[in-house]
Amino acid sequence: MNYEAVIGIETHVELLTHSKMFCGCPTDFGADPNTNVCPVCLGLPGALPVPNEQAIHWTIALGMALECSIAPHSVFHRKNYFYADLPKNYQISQFDLPLCVGGHLDVDGGTGERRVGITRVHLEEDTGKSTHLGGSGRIHDASGALIDFNRSGIPLMEVVTEPDIRTPEEARAYAQELRAIVLALGISDARLEEGSLRFDANVSLRPEGSTTLGTKVEVKNMNSLRSLQRALAFEIDRQNGVLAAGGTIAQETRHWDEAAGRTESGRGKEESSDYRYFPEPDLVPLEVGPELLARLRAGIPELPAVRRERYMAAGLDATAARTLVAGDLSGLFDDAVAAGAAPRAVANWLSGEVTAHLNRTGTDAADLTLDGAGLAELVEMVDSGEVSATAAKDVLAGVLAGEGTPRKVAERRDLLQISDVGALVVAVDEALAAHQDEVARIRGGDARLVGFLVGQVMKATGGRADPQAVDRLIRERTGA
Amino acid sequence: MDPADLSIADAAERLRAGEVTAVELLAAVQRRASMTEAILHCYLTIDRDGAAAAAEAADAALARGEDLGPLHGIPIAVKDNMVTRGVETTCSSRILSGWVPPYDATAVERLRRGGAVIFGKTNLDEFAMGSSTENSAYGPTRNPWNPDRVPGGSSGGSAATVAVGSAFGALGSDTGGSIRQPAALCGVVGMKPTYGLVSRYGLIAFASSLDQIGPITRTVADAVTLFEVVAGHDPSDATSYRGEFPDPRAESGRGVAGLKIGVVRELSGDGIDPGVLSAFRATLDALAAAGAEVTEVSLPSTEYALSAYYLIAPAECSANLARFDGVRFGLRLPGDSVEQLMSASRRDGFGPEVTRRILLGTYALSAGYYDAFYGQAQKVRTMVIEDFSRAYRDVDVLVTPTSPSTAFGVGEKTADPLSMYLSDICTIPSNLSGDPAISVPVGLDGADLPVGFQILAPALHEAVMFRVAEEVERLVGFSSRPALATSEGAA
């Protein structure tokens, strides 16, 4: 029997607010342990939460970007469970009245576009971080633990999809598109390696054509787009194997082991948790009025899907448009085009050399020392023949190495083409004088040797001569 | 007259007249405390050094011409469930034994800014759960009128210290009557403000949607003063009132002629002790004679209010008290795992009443029971609010006895939680509705124990509540003091 995978994804997005969700502590990553803390995020007796308005507004903005309905009345709840890195032993989260419900996102995993339903987007607070000492570093054989509460209370947005995803590729495309939207909104740095975007997936299989859901397995610990895709591919294979062997799928949580390339069952039996949710009495309900909605809607920037369409209308192919948007290169692209450069030339540079540079160095578009004006200048220099196509790659490398604008780099690295006829005439005449036999054979009708002479001039000028101009001069002088 | 027996208003006046200093006022309450603490145990901590420094600073400021307001230089006590920077705060619980907070509650900070001298931290029922101050891990407080009796609770230490004169005023907290009932049982004034008027930041939460800090004083005027100092919007408390702050003195001095006073039928007959009822009715007669229109009003939902309260408050407390786990502060017992450490610390750290309410609340919130218990209780809460607003269409204020009985014997009700819970039957409805209420002493029963008269008003209408309270105080003229407050009594 053939089985179809049914996948739903929960994404936690750490917001880029300056202060935490319910107190004024800073949210900087990498501060010394327990320095970004106060009575509120340490859960000291008597401390009370005050919600971060920016975080609420950004959650609504994401909801709008995902075409959700924004609840006019929404409520924070307490989610009760005892855990050492959860200082109050309850998490302030949202339960049956989240800020955003019922949206969708269209994604293409290579088999055509699919509409992924968004169940809800809600807001909650992050926990602290435990470090286990001794043993293997895992909790069960640790001799002690240290807790850092710097992360405690950082605003965390949770985006939950309907079980609408069918393949690991679609899952990846969904995650990538969500990340692009979050970046376009400027609400998170979306750095996967720092955990600002974390994915959990629910996976089940069912016979193709069936509409009932199979037993689901929750897969956790995927911290890159690639590991999300790999983990789901593994898990679908694993479940297929179990079913093919006549077995049944156990409802459980499995952890993705990136190094081993497999999902591992969590230890022990799954306990069904009762979080005893109830409305957080320290906070008043959130009332979102039409004026705030209008203001937030007006602030939504161009979203990735619309941007890709605009790029394709400007003559880019779908792949280039996707690369620019997904790689967060749209800003550079738009700036360069606004500075007068041809869209396709700009897109070629960005999706080619620049993307290769980012992949090679593992850096983000935000870290580039290239700006839109510089990119336009480079395109202009190639168009006008100031640099050759080959030399232009060196110019770009210089710009990306922080050596300055393209023109400065070309000058410093001596990469400008010699288009000055006077200078070229001297070089051409020198070459003709040095190769009189070849000149005589050209005059005798063997025009193929023109290319040889052009090569000689290029060699003598260190490749900086404009080859077309050289070719023209040689032909004039030899009558070829 | 011993300065310890002055009202805040009189002490403040003499301070400014140069007849007494803040240091002398502090010495007076210290003397009174040293005479009475061994019997009463109002305090868990007396901050001698902090208070002495504050009193000296207050005198120096006055000498420079800096006047911080009506509490400047006045010794005030604070219930030990409000955090005080650098001074141990335990909530009368073993689980917080030795915990020294790194910050001040907003109400405490406002006292300090107003120049008050914070004398010490008063005893309470553990985490404010109780009606007799017997549920304290550090021993009970006793009633200054008769040390064989309880002072009420949970703010029993605050009420007793004000009654006996070892503080000029005190802050209490009121979740179901914890200011008003002990004030009634100790013969002093106790007021619960409209929910949201006094910041809860730094008040160690029992039940967040019901808790409110308020004053305990010997006169109504002093209650207004103390209330005004601690009240006001606080950006650190999301439930803090944001609107225009109502002037509590707006109706002062107008008397009660023409005011409509509603007697709550369900809370002023059956179940109320005869001694309480007779003082209550005498007060009604005096109000009527002064021109008030006294009518009877029905609040049918009060029948269910106590049950609803004992679901909502424990439910909230079960979460509020989850943070006491031995991990970051307070008592920590060893364990082989963090779960063992937490459960051992909590088992040892919490007393039986707190444990009972945490279990009750955990149960009420559990899957499958939520709707029947917590959900149903919230519906009752809505009914109570509707009952009140219906009643306030016809009357300006409502009145009841503050508590069904006067001070009961130490140990009398500890074995029977339900009978203990019933002593809050008259006070709980206004916590559920969030409305203000005040208890004013109106006489003594046959056993020479004080009786409290409760005045309730609509939310934000403190002004009319205080107006009636000051008139009750004037008409009844309750001026008795507990024997312990006189030198003969203490000797």
C-beta separation of B201 from B213 below 8 A: no
Inform me whether the pLDDT recorded for A268 exceeds 70.
no
Measuring CA to CA, which residue among B174, B164, B219, B128 is closest to residue B38? B164
Judge: B99–A45 Cβ closer than 8 Å, yes or no: yes
Q: A397 CB near a chain B CB, below 8 Å? A: no
Paired residues of A254 in beta bridges = A219, A265
Q: Are A252 and A342 in a shared domain?
A: no
Side by side, the strands of the sheet bearing A217-222 are A69-70, A100-108, A113-125, A155-161, A3-14, A197-207, A217-222, A252-257, A262-265
**A82, A274, A282: residue with CB nearest B208:** A282
Domain finish residue from A412, A433, A458: A412
List the end-to-end C-alpha distance of chain B, in Å, as a whole number: 17
Distance CA B422, CA B181 (A): 11
Interface test with A, best of B80, B83, B327, B379 (most A CBs within 10 A): B327
Residue A362: both structure tokens together? 């593992």
pLDDT value of position A426? 87
Distance of CA B176 to the CA centre of its chain: 10
Q: Are A368 and A252 in a shared domain?
A: no
Angle subtended at Cα A10 by Cα A8 and Cα A11, rounded to the nearest 5 degrees: 135
Q: A20 CB near a chain B CB, below 8 Å? A: no
Q: Are A228 and A257 in a shared domain?
A: yes
Q: B96 CB near a chain A CB, below 8 Å? A: yes
Distance CA A166, CA A236 (A): 10
Q: Are A186 and A334 in a shared domain?
A: no
Number of residues assigned to chain B: 491
Residue-wise pLDDT for A178-218, tens only, equals 999 999 999 998 888 888 899 999 999 999 999 999 999 99
A105 is a domain residue: yes
Q: Are A457 and A326 in a shared domain?
A: no
How many angstroms separate the CA of residue B157 from the nearest CA in chain A?
A: 20
> Could you tell me which residues come within 8 angstroms of residue A161 by beta carbon, excluding any fewer than 6 positions away?
A8, A9, A10, A105, A116, A117, A118, A119, A174
Neighbours of B16 (CB within 10 A): 13
Task: For residue A141, report the phi and psi dihedrals to the nearest 5 degrees.
Answer: -120, 25
Distance CA B60, CA B54 (A): 10
Q: Are A402 and A426 in a shared domain?
A: no
Distance CA A235, CA B410 (A): 66
Greater confidence (B148 vs A462) lies with B148
Name the residue in chain A with its Cα closest to that of B316. A281
Q: A84 CB near a chain B CB, below 8 Å? A: yes
pLDDT value of position B489? 45
DSSP symbol at B451: E
A148 is a domain residue: yes
Residues of A in contact with B329 (CB under 8 A): 44-45
Residue-wise pLDDT for A87-115, tens only, equals 999 999 999 999 999 999 999 998 899 99
Mean pLDDT of chain A: 91
List the end-to-end C-alpha distance of chain A, in Å, as a whole number: 74
Residues of B in contact with A129 (CB under 8 A): none
Catalytic residue check, B154: yes
Kind of pairing, strands B43-46 and A278-279?
unpaired
Per-residue burial over A349-382, b if 16 or more Cβ lie within 10 Å, else e, is bbbebbbebbeeeeeebeebebbbbbbbbbbbbb
Judge: A45–B91 Cβ closer than 8 Å, yes or no: yes
> Could you tell me which residues come within 8 angstroms of residue A331 by beta carbon, excluding any fewer than 6 positions away?
A365, A372
Neighbours of A308 (CB within 10 A): 20
C-beta separation of B358 from B312 below 8 A: no
Task: Give, in words, the CATH class of B3-251+461-490.
Answer: alpha beta
Q: Are A398 and A440 in a shared domain?
A: no
pLDDT value of position B490? 44
Kind of pairing, strands A100-108 and B117-122?
unpaired
- Please count the structural domains in chain A: 3
Distance of CA B449 to the CA centre of its chain: 19
* Helix, strand, coil in percent for chain A, rounding step 5: 40, 20, 40
Domain containing A440: what range?
Answer: 421-478
Inform me whether the pLDDT recorded for A5 exceeds 90.
yes
How many angstroms separate the CA of residue B81 from the nearest CA in chain A?
A: 8
A303 is a domain residue: no
Paired residues of A113 in beta bridges = A108
> Could you tell me which residues come within 8 angstroms of residue B479 by beta carbon, excluding any fewer than 6 positions away?
none
Residue-wise pLDDT for B44-53, tens only, equals 999 999 999 9
Q: Please state which of the ranges A68-72, A134-138, B336-340 shows the lowest mean pLDDT.
A: A134-138
Judge: B327–A90 Cβ closer than 8 Å, yes or no: no
Q: Are A244 and A351 in a shared domain?
A: no
**B209, B238, B323: residue with CB nearest A48:** B238
Residues of B in contact with A87 (CB under 8 A): 323, 327-328
Q: Are A155 and A92 in a shared domain?
A: yes
Amino acid, res. A185: L
Judge: B238–A49 Cβ closer than 8 Å, yes or no: yes
Q: Are A182 and A58 in a shared domain?
A: yes
Domain finish residue from A356, A389, A412: A412
pLDDT value of position B491? 39
Q: B370 CB near a chain A CB, below 8 Å? A: yes
Q: B338 CB near a chain A CB, below 8 Å? A: yes
Name the residue in chain B with its Cα closest to that of A34. B328
Inform me whether the pLDDT recorded for A270 exceeds 60.
no
Distance CA A383, CA A385 (A): 5
A309 is a domain residue: no
| Residue A1 pLDDT grade (very low, low, confident, very high; cuts 50, 70, 90) | confident
The full 3-state SS of B340-409, as one line of letters, equals HHHHHHHHHHCCHHHHHHHHHHHHHHCCCCCHHHHHHHHHHHHHHHHHHHHHHHHCCEEEEECCCCCCCE
Give the residues of chain B that fall short of pLDDT 70: 487-491
C-beta separation of A78 from A283 below 8 A: no
The full 3-state SS of A242-275, as one line of letters, equals HHHCCCCCCCEEEEEECCCCEEEECCCCCCCCCC
Residue A80: both structure tokens together? 């009760």
Q: Are A408 and A430 in a shared domain?
A: no
Q: A271 CB near a chain B CB, below 8 Å? A: no
Q: B432 CB near a chain A CB, below 8 Å? A: no
Inform me whether the pLDDT recorded for A140 exceeds 80.
no
Angle subtended at Cα A160 by Cα A236 and Cα A117, rounded to the nearest 5 degrees: 85
Inform me whether the pLDDT recorded for A288 exceeds 90.
yes
Judge: B236–A278 Cβ closer than 8 Å, yes or no: no
Paired residues of A286 in beta bridges = A74
Annotated active-site residue in B178, B301, B403, B405: B178
pLDDT value of position B167? 98
Which three-class secondary structure state does DSSP give residue B287?
helix
H-helix segments, B191-289: 220-230, 274-289
**B105, B322, B370: residue with CB nearest A82:** B322
How many angstroms separate the CA of residue B240 from the nearest CA in chain A?
A: 10
Judge: B238–A47 Cβ closer than 8 Å, yes or no: no
CB-count exposure of residue A402 (10 Å: 0-12, 13-18, 19+): exposed
Interface test with A, best of B233, B320, B324, B373 (most A CBs within 10 A): B320
DSSP symbol at B246: P
C-beta separation of B350 from B322 below 8 A: no
Judge: B237–A51 Cβ closer than 8 Å, yes or no: no
Q: A133 CB near a chain B CB, below 8 Å? A: no
A17 is a domain residue: yes
Inform me whether the pLDDT recorded for A120 exceeds 70.
yes
DSSP symbol at A6: E
Query: Angle, nearest 10°, between helix axes A330-338 and A318-326?
Result: 110
Paired residues of A82 in beta bridges = none
Residue A276: both structure tokens together? 């005893």
Per DSSP (E only), the strands in B36-90 are 43-46, 75-79
Distance CA B391, CA B299 (A): 8
Measuring CA to CA, which residue among A182, A74, A177 is closest to residue A123? A74
Neighbours of A271 (CB within 10 A): 6
Annotated active-site residue in B92, B93, B132, B154: B154
C-beta separation of A123 from A53 below 8 A: no
Specify the DSSP element, H or E, that contains B260.
strand B260-264
Residues of B in contact with A147 (CB under 8 A): 327
Judge: B367–A276 Cβ closer than 8 Å, yes or no: yes
> Rounded to a whole number, what is the largest CA-CA distance in chain B?
71
Interface test with B, best of A20, A42, A82, A276 (most B CBs within 10 A): A276
Judge: A46–B204 Cβ closer than 8 Å, yes or no: yes
C-beta separation of B111 from B229 below 8 A: yes
pLDDT value of position A267? 59
Dihedral sign for Cα A407, A408, A414, A419, please: positive
Residues of A in contact with B209 (CB under 8 A): 281
Domain finish residue from A260, A295, A330: A295
Distance CA B192, CA B173 (A): 8
Name the residue in chain A with its Cα closest to that of B364. A276
> Could you tell me which residues come within 8 angstroms of residue A200 by beta carbon, excluding any fewer than 6 positions away?
A9, A10, A11, A12, A218, A219, A220, A222
Measuring CA to CA, which residue among B323, B325, B345, B324 is closest to residue B334? B345
Catalytic residue check, B343: no
Annotated active-site residue in B79, B121, B192, B413: B79
How many angstroms separate the CA of residue B367 from the nearest CA in chain A?
A: 6
Interface test with B, best of A21, A80, A138, A278 (most B CBs within 10 A): A278
Distance CA A65, CA A61 (A): 6
* A142, A227, B208 from A106: Cα distances, Å: 45, 21, 43
